Amino acid sequence: MHSPAIPELAQEDPQIAGLIEDEARRQYEKIRMIASENYVSAAVLEASGTVLTNKYSEGYAGRRYYEGQQFIDPIETIAIDRAKELFGVAHANVQPYSGSPANLAVYLAFLKPGDTFMGAGLAAGGHLTHGSPVSVTGKWFTPVAYGVSRETGIVDMNEVRDLALKERPKLIFCGGTAIPRTIDFPAFAEIAKEIGAILVSDIAHIAGLVAGGAHPSPVGYADVITTTTHKTLRGPRGAMILTTEEYATPIDKAVFPGLQGGPHNHTTAGIAVALKEAAQPEFRTYAATVVANAKALAAGLTERGWDLVSGGTDNHLILADLTPKGVTGKVAAKALDAAGIELNYNSVPFDPRKPFDPSGIRLGAAAITTRGLKPEQMGQVAQWMDDTVQAAAKGDTDEYARIAGQVRELMAQYPMPGWA
């Protein structure tokens, strides 16, 4: 059953309570490898489900527009202080509702409509808010997209520099949503300095790895850092913006009153708890194991003939082109879900297929590491994945149930926060 238990909800609204229980069981029984998902601790769950959701708190600590902030201000201040200490930054804003509003606040702080900026193209692993034509960032501003090398699948920093010198963007984004390799923050910083641009590092996917010392930090290189608080950081669904003192005021004004009203105080409390957890020595072990698991899984897939973008991974994330396997990413993702393995279909660089039916899949090792899986289990996971994809290519749907049963047996050996 869901833990903490939800008896009041079960009595008041059994339909919703039943769906929550079903979802908790689903998370418990499956190998969850959507790269943007994880499991929060029971403590984060408890903090996020408190009476703090009842309180409205427009403004910032000591400067609110409503009364009754005697306990809210300390909670937000604690979250800010923990973020500053964990990442080694001068200023932190913990109010953004999610990663996309956090990135939008950056645009509002530093650009005017029509201004030019640079970011990784969507097909090269960038996020929608890095200038995709379907995003407001691609409609209101002038995006210039950099990509990856066709030969290596990795960003060519010489090409980024040439493009920056030609287009002279006011702002450069580095980072993204499907980048399996280490981000070269020093090289991006050098380019931004050369053209007088503000460098923004979007570390939504790797924030936990940065905090745990398993990925280089952008601090000292990027002027502004945006991140979600879930994914590898293992917090609730929220976001933060980390900056130098120089940019603290424009960022704060952009978040509130520029984009948002009152922060979600229950989420802020959950973020504070997650940041305390991320500062513990065992979190560094967790971050290192995430990378070790991802590398072991990448090796297992490569041994079975999978075509991995860039040839592997340096972080938690793997991007695979399934064209050689004879299935599309969408077909494979749905087959794997039926087999108890959860991930998402995803475009790959230079993908000839459309985003809603692309050639690839994206997966990550953050959540399975939280459950306790180790590199020695990754060979079996790779085998299940390969068996499932081969079955999908043959139309052998009976194979899915067999693999799903074996997956349930494996995951039953590992406890899950949120399920008892």
| Residue list, annotated binding site | 122, 126-128, 245
Is residue 237 part of the annotated active site? The answer reads: yes
- Binding site members for (6S)-5,6,7,8-tetrahydrofolate: 122, 126-128, 245
In 3D, which of 342, 343, 344, 340 has the Cα closest to residue 409?
A: 340
What whole-number distance in Å separates Cα of residue 65 and Cα of residue 78?
20
Residue 100 in contact with residue 126, Cβ under 8 Å? no
What whole-number distance in Å separates Cα of residue 166 and Cα of residue 184?
21
Residue 143 in contact with residue 176, Cβ under 8 Å? no
Identify the three-state secondary structure at position 92.
Answer: strand
What whole-number distance in Å separates Cα of residue 201 and Cα of residue 103?
10
Q: Which one-letter DSSP state was computed for residue 197? A: P
Question: Looking at 56, 156, 182, 402, which residue is catalytic?
Answer: 56
- Enclosing H/E stretch for 277: helix 265-278
Query: Which class for 341: exposed (0-12), middle (13-18), buried (19 or more C-beta within 10 A)?
Result: buried
Query: Which class for 131: exposed (0-12), middle (13-18), buried (19 or more C-beta within 10 A)?
Result: buried
Pairing label, strands 224-228, 239-243: antiparallel
Residue 288 in contact with residue 66, Cβ under 8 Å? no
Question: Looking at 30, 32, 231, 295, which residue is catalytic?
Answer: 231
Residue 14 identity (one-letter amino acid): P
Q: Which residues contact 135 (CB under 8 A, 6 or more apart)?
A: 128, 129
Is residue 231 part of the annotated active site? The answer reads: yes
The Cα-based distances of 139 to 128, 143, 213, 246 in angstroms read 12, 9, 37, 28
What whole-number distance in Å separates Cα of residue 162 and Cα of residue 251?
29
What whole-number distance in Å separates Cα of residue 239 and Cα of residue 241?
7
Is residue 202 part of the annotated active site? The answer reads: yes
Question: Looking at 55, 170, 237, 284, which residue is catalytic?
Answer: 237
Question: Looking at 226, 227, 228, 328, which residue is catalytic?
Answer: 228
Strands (E), 41-86: 59-60, 63-64
Question: Looking at 29, 202, 252, 314, which residue is catalytic?
Answer: 202
* CA dihedral of 390, 392, 397, 403, whole degrees rounded to 10: 50
Is residue 190 part of the annotated active site? The answer reads: no
What whole-number distance in Å separates Cα of residue 110 and Cα of residue 132?
19
Q: What's the token pair of residue 223? A: 């002027």
Q: What's the token pair of residue 145? A: 């997209």
Question: Looking at 58, 156, 184, 386, which residue is catalytic?
Answer: 58
Catalytic residues: 56, 58, 202, 228, 231, 237
